[in-house]
Structure 1
């Protein structure tokens, strides 16, 4: 897949003019991360915006009790690091390659220069941050939903809305999706099994058909 096609799939860049895309293509560079490798950890300086072109990235933080809380699993086409463009100096979360992953990096300073003359690009960055805040609200909602089966069903419904397909795909490992929902992996699997027995879904590995 060509670089311009990859960046055209970026939620920040997809609605931009060809001229702006051309400017971005001049400054981006590709990086690869092996499975389970650290992309950056909480407290590190953010160097720019990252666009995932292959693989997936697990976003997490450590609770006061030392427990890992998975906030999100980002797949191809998703971005992170947008806060750096709007003045966030250090990252508050840890990002790890969930599998062999390739990303495009839009350097912070280069991006800010392009941003000065392109108001639409600024709006796209703000929109991306709003989507990130909405995801944090989902994490909080999961914590406040006592029923494991209800948490799993709500997550499946959100994926169906996002992916807009009859058969949806779980992004990331089941173990990480379970942690993101605040569940033990065995509890997550049991809830999926219960939903399948009730005729709500049909499972095929990480693919789910919503019935």
Structure 2
């Protein structure tokens, strides 16, 4: 998560408790931490590197659900019951990952009620984040979904660029298409339209947001907290 990562959800003391049960795993770009259908018995904390979460459709098309960077905690895990992964996790940059096993987490949650409450809040917000992404895809068409995606990228990777915001993450049109269920050609066309409206520009292959209000109007932004409106 941009800036604060999971410290936006967990106190420093409880974060250290989570760290105490992590073991470190290294993974190279192109590796998979888990596949859709694997047993969901671990959480993953990104110490450094990057990971993207993907979902395969029945037709074989891969959709990018979310992007994770240093400071993020992710993984589908249901304490005290068995489940399987609904998504796959692909490493996009060489990673150092802190892995938390479900059985160790369960003991920790039993022992520390305050940690259990914070963990429940974190799970709730993760579900809310997923719901808002599906809302973006279904409610306001592809232009709305693309504008919402740009806002989320800005919240996750944005850095000041004069009066504007540079998305400090190189993403191509094909990847953006995979995030909103569109074709690369339609993403090209929509971005060209936004450039004509002076809402954004491209600098050295990176997107600069010039008019955030324009993007918010197109996607009917509900001003969700940045903890939710992110990749």
Q: What's the TM-score, normalizing by structure 2? A: 0.73
Gaps of 5+ in 2: 212-231
| Deviation for aligned residue 1:127 | 2.4
Residue 113 of structure 1 is matched in structure 2 by 107
Aligned-residue Cα RMSD (Å) equals 2.8
Q: CA deviation at 1:148?
A: 3.1
Could you list the per-position Cα deviations for residues 178-200 of structure 1 after superposition, in whole angstroms to 9, with x for gaps in the alignment?
Answer: 21111223322332232122111
For 2:15 and 2:138, locate their aligned partners in 1 and report how far apart those are by CA, in whole Å. 41
| Distance across 1 between alignment mates of 2:126 and 2:208 | 24
TM-score by length of 1: 0.79
Verify: 1:210 aligned to 2:210, yes or no.
yes
1:26-175 equivalent positions in 2, closer than 5 A = 26-85=20-79, 87-145=81-139, 147-161=141-155, 166=160, 167-169=165-167, 173-174=171-172, 175=174
- Alpha-carbon distance, 1:40 to partner: 0.5
CA offsets 1:149-195 (integer angstroms, 9 cap, x no match): 33222222344455675424265733333211112233223322321
In structure 2, C-alpha distance between the alignment counterparts of 1:61 and 1:80, rounded to whole Å: 15
Q: Deviations over 1:118-148 (max 9, x none)?
A: 2232223222322332233234224325643
The worse-fitting range, judged by mean Cα deviation, of 103-112 and 123-132 is: 123-132
Deviates most, 159-168 or 82-91:
159-168
Partner of 2:6: 11
Matched with 1:3 is none
- CA gap 1:25/1:142 in 2 versus in 1, 3 angstroms: closer
